[in-house]
Amino acid sequence: MGDNEWTVEYYETEDGLSVVEEVESFGPEVFARILRTVSLLEEFGLELGAEYLSHVRGKIWELKVSRYRVLYFTFTGRRFVLLRAFIKKTKKTPEKELLIAKHRMEDYIARMTILSIEPRKEL
């Protein structure tokens, strides 16, 4: 991996449900197309452009692959965290999808914060 490349992580709930399963549910052809676009995201990052990326709300962005969307946010260390995949059927991103992504983002950040806290040393 080059110095300018980003890392992509796939959100997973504590009980193992992953955004990958949502992408897989679209079928093998769409799955492959989305993975190819994710590879471009890793390589080019935020420079990928409006054809593939757009800001949705707050820290949440969307990766666009035809009518399919993957909501994500950026995290420390040049990292994209993919949160939610869905088929976009209307011009506006459904509020339900944004709420799921926001909840997952908050959960991810909380879990990463807990992992980064070192145990207190005994005096």
pLDDT at 2: 53
Tell how strand 79-87 and strand 7-10 pair up.
parallel
What residues are paired with 53 via a beta bridge? 63
- Asked if the structure places residue 123 within a domain, the reply is no
- Asked if the structure places residue 103 within a domain, the reply is yes
What mean pLDDT is predicted for residues 1-13? 82
Is the pLDDT assigned to residue 116 strictly greater than 70? no
Inter-residue contact 63 to 41 (CB < 8 Å): yes
pLDDT at 65: 96
Inter-residue contact 94 to 108 (CB < 8 Å): no
CATH label of the domain that carries residue 14: 3.30.2310.20
What mean pLDDT is predicted for residues 19-45? 96
Tokens of 123: 């005096």
Is the pLDDT assigned to residue 115 strictly greater than 60? yes
What residues are paired with 87 via a beta bridge? 68
How many domains in the chain?
Answer: 1
- Asked if the structure places residue 2 within a domain, the reply is no
